[in-house]
Amino acid sequence: MEKFLESNPQLSLAPSNNEEYVVKGILSLDIRDELYGHVRDEFFIRIVIPKCFPKETPTVYEIGERFPKNPDYHTFPNSSLCLGSPLSVKKRIKDNPTLDGFINTCVVPYFYAIALKLQGKENFVFGELYHGIEGIIQNYLEVFGLKNIVQVINLLDILRQKPNRGNKKECPCGCNLIVTKCSLHKKIVEYRDVMTRKEYAEDKEILSLIYAKWEEEQMKNKMRKFISNAL
């Protein structure tokens, strides 16, 4: 924490507790990009950092009231910022497991996109996921090159298990090979420790319930159509 505050002199430690640090201050942007141009701006932010970081993800708030706290600006109902899907944020933290790494790979890109949006130039230049569970599904599909929710559920079933068991299962991509025989194995290994097996299991349970409800509704629609045609 001392090293982080030294490298970010516009941020300072606020009253904290035994489980987390709270940091407040100015995040300054001075970014030149060939495609989007020069952005020079600053935002007043608060960061709640779990003391077990990087195992747990910090929570970031914009407290200068520069923009509305709603889904159009990718904020959660509690006004914290949506910096990306849990999977993508944790992958960036895994690749850069320092507070400066978190700021540079997760926080700065978000505020860069916000600054451009406030200028009316771009609407989230790095792309946008759907909100909520749809965004989580979209992220798994894009990261692993899958085609549908069933493949994502099968992927999560593999990731929730220990490698020696998951690797023996049929690959979710549909190639009819076991995981270790498929090219997707490399990507699965890359992401296996990004989230915990428990977190992958929780995602699998949520998506399985959603898919089961969808299947039930599809069956009801088929029955309605069948009965209607039979009358």
Q: Name the band, by pLDDT with cuts 50, 70 and 90, for residue 129.
A: low
Give percent of the chain above pLDDT 90. 75
Residue 127 pLDDT greater than 80, yes or no = no
Least confident piece of the model among 31-35, 74-78, 88-92, 111-115 = 31-35
Q: What is the pLDDT of residue 19?
A: 93
Instruction: Name the band, by pLDDT with cuts 50, 70 and 90, for residue 187.
Output: very high
3-state secondary structure the chain: CHHHHHHCCCEEEECCCCCEEEEEEEEEEEEEECCCEEEEEEEEEEEEEECCCCCCCCEEEECCCCCCCCHHHCECCCCEECCCCHHHHHHHHHHCCCHHHHHHHHHHHHHHHHHHHHCCCCCCCCCCCCCHHHHHHHHHHHHHCCCCHHHHHHHHHHHCCCHHHHCCCECCCCCCCEHHHCCHHHHHHHHCCCCCHHHHHHHHHHHHHHHHHHHHHHHHHHHHHHHHHHC
For each of the domains in the chain, give its residue range(s) and CATH number, in order of start: 2-118 (3.10.110), 132-230 (no CATH)
pLDDT at residue 128, as a whole number: 60
Structure confidence by residue, pLDDT tens digits, 132-162: 788 889 999 999 999 999 999 999 999 999 9
Residue 18 has pLDDT above 70, yes or no: yes
The residue among 16 and 126 whose pLDDT is bigger is 16
- Predicted TM-score (pTM) of the model is 0.85
